[in-house]
Amino acid sequence: MRAGKEAPPLGLAGFAALVLLQLLVTAAPLALLPFLGLHLARMSAAPAFWTAAALAAPAVTTLAMTPAWTGLARVLSLPSLIVWTGIFTAASCAIIAVASDPVTLLAGRLVQGLAGGGVVLALAFRAAGRSAGRGFAAMQQAVAAGCLLGPLVGGFAFEREQLGLLMLGFGGLILVATSAAASRDLSAEPDEESPSGRADSSDLSLLCAGLCGGAGAFAFVAFFPAWANAYDPALYTPGLIGLLHSLSWLVALLVLPLWARVMDGVSPVAALNLSLIGCALGFAAVPLGAGLAGIVALRLLQGALFAGQAPALFAAVEAVSPSRTAAMARARASLTLGQLVGPFVAGLALVPLGPSGALFAAAGLSFAGAVALATAAHPLRTIRSRAR
């Protein structure tokens, strides 16, 4: 464990710049994602192939960069890393904005993964917060706001064939927010050297839990529309499905301060376990025929429960790792892998079991994450957030 001294919290203006940067970095890709297939259909005669490749591209470069972040953090200051993230993210937006063919758009998506916003901004929020719970919860609030904003402005721009202009606008705003955030007095606590550079058994159990939790959530989001369409296509229109998704992010935005209290007052592992088990039960309850009112309540509950998962994972992994940078990189990698694994596993269940089977698979993945925590080494049962 580290015994260094934390940097003083950022002032209000610096913290606001950091929140704005996280919001923009989240919203920019999400402005494109719901319409990615339609956008590529205008560029290529094989939109299915290019859509799959473009969807996976940021994950490929994110995972490839995972081992590099610890070394980069030793030679670059945290403000310099923020500049790295801002420049690469803005470049990704610019490449996507001017892309007239699928290869160029794919290149822009690959550059997005190189930016490493999920790692660098996690380090920045942790350094800026007074505690792990507050720092990571604030980060997730900004993420939730970006998840709400991105598809809304993206849909507006896509309908008016102004998606390129929107992406250029995002790129410019990201550079402005980067300049504001990086100019503040923000420094990360130095990492200790790890004797092996490898994750121990406690770390691996947490990463497995994060992977399974992310997999369950993304599997559910991917296949909930298929279930809704099979259950009552007249009722569950695309607009209603989108509204339900937005409501889940809205409630996440509101409840995250409560998750911060659980992480700091009890333990991040307890918060992670609660989120995993709650999400598993919430996903499994949807196919049981609760009616519209019940589905609305379940989606709100799922949003509230899932909100604490990523910040709890970051706080828990940090607490058992000698290197904060390596912990953030590994946690982000586990969540990224979950985004790839979840829809694949649920898709396998879809063929023999139908849409309900896919949702039960999502629940099973989330429950598997809780099992990984339950079978973990003893230190995970007692760890508390560091430097509260």
Percent of the chain with pLDDT over 90: 64
Joined tokens for residue 139: 């980060």
Give yes or no for residue 3 having a pLDDT over 50: no
∠ CA 74-68-276, nearest 5°, is 105
Q: How far is 43 from 110, CA to CA, in rounded Å?
A: 18
pLDDT digits (tens, 9 = 90+) for 142-152: 999 999 999 99
Joined tokens for residue 241: 């499905």
pLDDT of residue 130: 76
pLDDT of residue 129: 75
pLDDT digits (tens, 9 = 90+) for 176-195: 999 999 886 666 555 554 44
pLDDT digits (tens, 9 = 90+) for 218-251: 999 989 988 988 888 888 887 888 888 889 999 9
Longest Cα pair distance anywhere in the chain, in angstroms?
A: 60
- Structural contact between residues 118 and 62, judged by C-beta atoms closer than 8 angstroms: yes
Give yes or no for residue 35 having a pLDDT over 90: no
Amino acid letter at 114? L
Residue 161 CB partners (closer than 8 Å, separation 6+): none
Q: Once rounded to an integer, what is the mean pLDDT over residues 12-23?
A: 91
Residue 128 CB partners (closer than 8 Å, separation 6+): 9, 10, 14, 15, 18, 135, 138, 186
Whole-number average pLDDT of the chain: 88
Q: How far is 299 from 296, CA to CA, in rounded Å?
A: 5
Give yes or no for residue 107 having a pLDDT over 60: yes
Q: How far is 168 from 319, CA to CA, in rounded Å?
A: 39
CA 264 to each of CA 49, 268, 270: distance values in angstroms, whole numbers, following the listed order = 45, 7, 10
Joined tokens for residue 183: 């100019």
pLDDT digits (tens, 9 = 90+) for 363-375: 999 999 999 998 8
Mapping DSSP to helix (H, G, I), strand (E, B) and coil, where does residue 162 land?
Answer: coil
CB contact burial 243-278 (16+ within 10 A = b; e otherwise): ebbbebbbbbbebbeebbebbbeebbbbbbbbbbbb
pLDDT of residue 291: 86
pLDDT digits (tens, 9 = 90+) for 77-101: 999 999 999 999 999 999 999 999 9
- Structural contact between residues 170 and 97, judged by C-beta atoms closer than 8 angstroms: no
pLDDT of residue 183: 82
pLDDT digits (tens, 9 = 90+) for 43-89: 988 888 999 899 899 999 999 999 999 999 999 999 999 999 999 99
How many other C-beta atoms are found inside a 10 Å radius of the C-beta of residue 55? 16
